[in-house]
Structure 1
Amino acid sequence: MKTKLTDYLRPLALATALFGGLTCGGQAFAQVQPLDRIVAIVDNDVIMQSQLQQRLREVRNTMSQRGVELPPEEEMRQQVMERLIAENLQLQLAERSGIRIGDEELNQAMATIAQRNNMSLEQFREALARDGMSPEQAREQIRREMLITRVRQRRVAERVQVSDQEVQSFLASDLGKLQLSEEYRLANILIPVPEAADAATIQAAEAAARDTYEQARQGADFGRLAMARSASENALEGGDMGWRRAAQLPPPFDTMVGDMQVGQVTEPIRTPPGFILIQLTDKRGGETQVRQEVRVRHILIKPSEIRSETEARQLAERLHVRLRAGEDFAELARNFSEDPGSALNGGDLDWIDPNSLVPEFSQVMADTASGELSEPFRTPYGWHVLEVLGRRATDASQEYREQQAANLLRNRKFDEELQSWLRQIRDEAYVEIKI
């Protein structure tokens, strides 16, 4: 399954010891059910032993499936605990900010996850059951992941601004041209340095980073080193950063990756959060960006308080008959279409990217040959009849390139801001670890 579901469920207070009425030789024996216990206090919330153990099991299973050797138990426990603390703090922020995920939105998210994994919703539920997870547990976990994403968007993304001048400067730079040609699969290890660290602390962190680098250079598994030593948010994923373009990386990594070979690891580099090592695990890209566009026009008939669903469909069918009989499409669109954006242009939507349209419209458009008229069909907007006027493949436009550049610059700033923000909320929180 491509999408990871992590258990954030907070266990309810477990039942106290159960005393049964069993006797043997006149003696009563108690059947004792072990209690769950608190392993960390995080501001106004707690992390339970059962949560920690469940997450440790998930991490072990993930590593086993990847064929990665497990780090020492204590190191892995510390990493998992820090991840749970960070998630708990973000969920508390979401709650205080009034962020909610409704049932309808959650249903759509589950359907989307199933679709991305090429499953029906029923097949998705069966896959969860095989992994020992009920649909209710999965819904709760997805809800919490969505809450964390939403609070990050609100607290971090709003700090990130990209100006038009930055976009144009980036496109004109050698780095801007490079990012359009290749993508890199990267992993990282962060050896942290506190903001007010003294010289001895910095030297110790540098020595740890240098030792980590030497082990990686001599063939030690980078993912295992990341899980055991890294303080980055993705440590439990073996430091995996996913696919990135050079422009999404902070200096000096943005200019270094282009010269790296797959498997190579950078020497430790000092950054504000600490010493960072990056490994290049794969690379791809270099193809020309091509976009498929369709020239299409349509007539839209909407149901309303004065026109029922049936009447709207029947009107669309009558217009379809008239179009088949040879009446002018543009004239009928100007007289009948209720799409304010295209009616005055004879229903013409001009050249358009199919991905920008609702799926129902896009599918009918794909099934209609150039120069042909569709049958009447329904979308969330109402009843349509469309005509495909032509198709073309175009190279990425300047507008597309500018949007790409803006997204890359924004993602790079977001990653930097996210790490700083996570460190900030951790430093400002009251955290008491009780194991």
Structure 2
Amino acid sequence: MKLSDCLRPLMLGAVLIGSMAHAEVQPLDRVVAIVDNDVIMQSQLNSRLREVQQTIAKRGAAVPPDDVLQNQVLERLILENLQLQIGDRSGIRIGDEELNQAIGTIAQRNNMTPAQFKAALTRDGLSYEDARDQVRREMIISRVRQRRVGERIQVSDQEVKNFLASDLGKMQLSEEYRLANILIPVQEGASSDAIQTAAKQAQDIYSQLKQGADFAQMAIARSASESALEGGEMGWRKAGQLPPPFDTMLSTMSAGEVTEPVRTPGGFIIIKLQEKRGGGAQVSEEVNVRHILIKPSEIRSDAESQRLAQRLYDRIAAGEDFAELAKNFSEDPGSALNGGSLNWIDPKVLVPEFQAVMNSTPSGEVSKPFRTSFGWHILQVMGRRATDNSEKFREQQAMNILRNRKYDEELQTWLRQIRDEAYVETKL
């Protein structure tokens, strides 16, 4: 796959060339659409048409008639142009540093260094500058959509509750398992002897697996499953999609374990849990911490602030009350009145310097003064606890699913709206 498939190549401006014979300028480009305060050029349309035709051809699909495809592509360019104009009026700018990071990410996704990425673009007939311009445009459009469409989406608490209670919600938010299976078949209407023989075979396989036999090799050699030649690989399955008793059996298993043989209508099945993801408990550590903040200012230098923090630390070490000193000296308005208390807090929301000192300070002890971007701190860890955020995590997942669902619908509505409200004159 060409890298240019990931980027939409754009042609720049109008191209003019001088004729030696007539000594006059002959335009080789022309305006094909006026879109509010901007225009779309024939060269832009031709470039995008070529790209779309190549993409369709790679899929092996029939390419629509030229006039139909041309109108479709032009309409797409009009919508992009409108969004870029909205971004410009809204003051959305993508700086060089942010753009370089985005291009670095694209190169990384393609397992390339920036230099290799640039060379690959050249091989695909795309200049590096054109690629940068295209990525910038895509980033602006994405940001415009986040602002204009995102602000139109509202998800209520009741919608979240209804989704979590629904069968669809339970299905989408349940754990996922990557499974492999071995099937010892039993024919419909089989005799009790045949069933017992199959059960004995399944038990024998299970015993060998428990003793360390390779599951994939056993599946290839003994299984009648359609995935036997793939080592029994079944891929990922949602917990809610699994029939009893596998749903409950797998929930208590660890990756790498196998189930005992289970009788099913088709025979005896042994399942191996290869991996699991999602759905489980989301346990996070919270810390009960308090601090005193001394900020440098125009009338107090950084060195003076450090010395004041050291004096306060010495007073606490001598037995003075941390909370009283915080009320009198701390310059963190959010915590000073509470004796410097930040209450129970997730360490990840704190700046790295504060987090590092807090993590290395035992419960009940006071840290020596240390510096962050906010100033000089003294902290005391009051306690630590593990908090199960599973329910909160599920609610956030449900919120994201509902927002994404509404976003797709709202985006189409918004695009139609800005298209209807715009002045567009086509000149094909």
Normalising by the smaller structure, the TM-score range is 0.5 to 0.7
Q: 1:413 & 1:421 partners in 2: Cα distance?
A: 12
User: What residue number does 1:229 align with?
Assistant: none
User: What residue number does 1:16 align with?
Assistant: 17
Q: 1:162 & 1:286 partners in 2: Cα distance?
A: 22
Q: Is the 8 A contact 2:94 2:139 kept in 1?
A: no
User: What residue number does 2:324 align with?
Assistant: 331
- Segments of 5+ residues of structure 1 without an aligned counterpart are 20-27, 185-245, 247-256, 261-282
- CA pair 103-416 structure 1, distance change in 2 beyond 3 A: closer
Q: Any residues of structure 2 matched to 1:62-141 within 5 Å, and which?
A: 69=59, 71=61, 81-95=74-88, 98-102=89-93, 107=97, 110-111=100-101, 126=115, 129-132=118-121, 140-141=133-134
Q: 1:393 & 1:298 partners in 2: Cα distance?
A: 21
- SS class of match (2:385): strand
CA shift, 1:361, in A, is: 3.2
Alignment partner of 1:307 is 2:310: no
Structure 1 residues 176-233: Cα deviation after superposition (integer angstroms, max 9, x where no partner): 333332589xxxxxxxxxxxxxxxxxxxxxxxxxxxxxxxxxxxxxxxxxxxxxxxxx
- CA pair 58-377 structure 1, distance change in 2 beyond 3 A: farther
User: What residue number does 1:166 align with?
Assistant: 159
- CA pair 172-308 structure 1, distance change in 2 beyond 3 A: same
- SS class of match (1:383): strand
User: What residue number does 1:345 align with?
Assistant: 338
- SS class of match (2:285): strand
- CA pair 291-342 structure 1, distance change in 2 beyond 3 A: same
Q: Is the 8 A contact 2:286 2:345 kept in 1?
A: yes
Q: Is the 8 A contact 2:292 2:377 kept in 1?
A: yes
Alignment partner of 1:409 is 2:410: no
- CA pair 108-92 structure 1, distance change in 2 beyond 3 A: closer
Alignment partner of 1:152 is 2:150: no
Structure 1 residues 288-314: Cα deviation after superposition (integer angstroms, max 9, x where no partner): 223332222222111223222332233
Q: 1:114 & 1:323 partners in 2: Cα distance?
A: 49
- SS class of match (2:406): helix
Aligned positions, number: 322
CA shift, 1:339, in A, is: 1.1
Q: Is the 8 A contact 2:290 2:343 kept in 1?
A: yes
CA shift, 1:149, in A, is: 3.0
Q: Any residues of structure 2 matched to 1:11-410 within 5 Å, and which?
A: 11-17=12-18, 19=20, 35-38=28-31, 40-52=33-45, 69=59, 71=61, 81-95=74-88, 98-102=89-93, 107=97, 110-111=100-101, 126=115, 129-132=118-121, 140-141=133-134, 143-181=136-174, 285-323=278-316, 327-366=320-359, 368=361, 370-371=363-364, 373-396=366-389, 398-410=391-403
CA shift, 1:99, in A, is: 0.6
- CA pair 325-56 structure 1, distance change in 2 beyond 3 A: farther
- CA pair 369-136 structure 1, distance change in 2 beyond 3 A: farther
CA shift, 1:433, in A, is: 6.7
CA shift, 1:341, in A, is: 1.6
CA shift, 1:418, in A, is: 0.9
CA shift, 1:368, in A, is: 4.7
Bigger radius of gyration: 2
Comparing 291-300 and 367-376, the one that deviates more? 367-376
Identity of matched residues, %: 60
CA shift, 1:100, in A, is: 1.0
User: What residue number does 2:219 align with?
Assistant: none
Q: 1:116 & 1:293 partners in 2: Cα distance?
A: 36
Q: 1:375 & 1:80 partners in 2: Cα distance?
A: 64
Give the partner amino acid of 1:351.
W
Q: Is the 8 A contact 1:298 1:386 kept in 2?
A: yes
Alignment partner of 1:432 is 2:397: no
- Segments of 5+ residues of structure 2 without an aligned counterpart are 178-237, 243-275
CA RMSD of aligned residues (A): 4.8
CA shift, 1:88, in A, is: 1.4
Q: Is the 8 A contact 2:92 2:140 kept in 1?
A: yes
Q: 1:285 & 1:362 partners in 2: Cα distance?
A: 27
Q: 2:53 & 2:382 partners in 1: Cα distance?
A: 56
